[in-house]
């Protein structure tokens, strides 16, 4: 499964907004510069986020965007779905009783990919925007990717 730039950039921009908002609107251009995302693309994403009730806009001098609710109340899955990013790993249409084969059947691995999509959705639903901003994302990736090869060998040997 590959998450497109739409979903990734929406989460990046929302984390940036949550981090820099401090009770005042933040101009999209500021976030675009910090996150190295084009302003027009960010405007499209924030239009969708606003229509889905995740951000509110303030017009005029000193205007910009603010979170519509607390970061601790926003799930990462909600942000991704708000910008029309499907969270799925199959090539079949979600909810369709038929599969992706030309004869409308499901492939042998369909259930595997469908469950992977479900697990991804469950994980992203368990993580809040506040978790991301406060770096509370835990897991083995931090251990694996932050270690040297010698460190990984030592940990693996100790684990048995």
Give me the sign of the Cα torsion angle 65, 55, 69, 19: negative
Q: For residue 73, is it left (φ>0), alpha (ψ between -120 and 50) or beta? A: alpha
User: What are the structural domain ranges in the chain?
Assistant: 5-85+128-159
Give me the sign of the Cα torsion angle 35, 16, 38, 124: positive
Q: How far is CA 35 from the centre of its chain?
A: 14
**Running along the chain, 160 residues long, what does each successive block of 10 average in pLDDT?**
82 95 90 92 95 94 92 96 80 65 74 86 94 83 55 53
Considering the domain delimited by 5-85+128-159, tell me its CATH architecture.
Orthogonal Bundle (1.10)
How do residues 103-143 score in pLDDT, each as one tens digit? 667 778 888 888 888 898 999 999 999 999 999 887 655 55
Are the beta carbons of 76 and 128 closer than 8 angstroms? yes
Give me the sign of the Cα torsion angle 17, 23, 25, 26: negative
């Amino acid at each position: 499964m590959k998450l497109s730039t739409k979903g990734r950039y929406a989460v990046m921009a929302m984390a940036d907004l949550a981090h820099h908002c401090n009770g005042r609107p933040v101009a999209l251009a500021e976030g675009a510069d910090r996150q190295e995302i084009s302003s027009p693309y960010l405007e499209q994403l924030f239009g969708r986020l606003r229509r889905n009730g995740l951000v509110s806009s303030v017009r005029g001098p000193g205007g910009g965007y603010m979170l519509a609710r607390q970061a601790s109340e926003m799930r990462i899955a909600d942000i991704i779905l708000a910008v029309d990013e499907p969270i799925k790993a199959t090539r079949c249409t979600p909810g369709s009783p038929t599969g992706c084969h030309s004869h409308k059947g499901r492939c042998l691995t369909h259930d595997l990919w469908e469950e992977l999509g479900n697990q991804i959705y469950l994980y992203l639903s368990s993580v809040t925007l506040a978790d991301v901003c406060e770096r509370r994302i835990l897991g083995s990736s931090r251990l694996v990717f932050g270690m040297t090869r010698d460190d990984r060998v030592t940990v693996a040997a100790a684990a048995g």
